[in-house]
Amino acid sequence: MQHVHCSATTADEQVTDHGEVTCEQALTIVSQFPWAAQNARSQQTGVGPSVSFGFQGGERTYLNLVGLEGESLMVMMEVVLKPGFLGILSRKAASLEKDLSSAHEAMVYVQKLYELDRDALYEWVRSRAHP
């Protein structure tokens, strides 16, 4: 995938806009984000830390990694191939939400965002969305 935008938000709601990033840069951002410290801080602020990737167009794709507790995080991913009429009729989209034990597990989702074309990514997400 090309032109993937990334931003990171701390538990204190400080946003870092990384702009367009390569796959290697994205993996570094996720691995170096202080998940445990930010997850602990979120217990005081009530704001979950996150790292978000996405790109827009007629079809949109995004990947959000949201801190939970300790090193764990939730991955939320959506691929929209066809937005449909009013966002409902004839819409073709796949989305998933999964709890992960570490940022290391999230690397697979980041890599797929870059490695697969939009149609293949849609099928990959769809196949993992609901057992």
pLDDT computed for residue 130 by the predictor: 67
46-82: pLDDT as tens digits = 999 999 999 765 567 899 999 999 999 999 999 887 7
pLDDT computed for residue 91 by the predictor: 65
Best CA proximity match to 63, nearest among 50, 80, 77, 73: 77
Token pair of 116 as six digits: 């697969």
Taking 70 as the threshold, does the pLDDT of residue 1 lie above it? no
Task: Determine the average pLDDT of the residues in 6-22.
Answer: 94
Q: 20 phi and psi, to 5 degrees?
A: -75, 135
Terminal alpha carbon distance of the chain: 26
Q: What is the number of structural domains in the chain?
A: 1
Enclosing domain of residue 9:
4-129
18-30: pLDDT as tens digits = 999 999 999 999 9
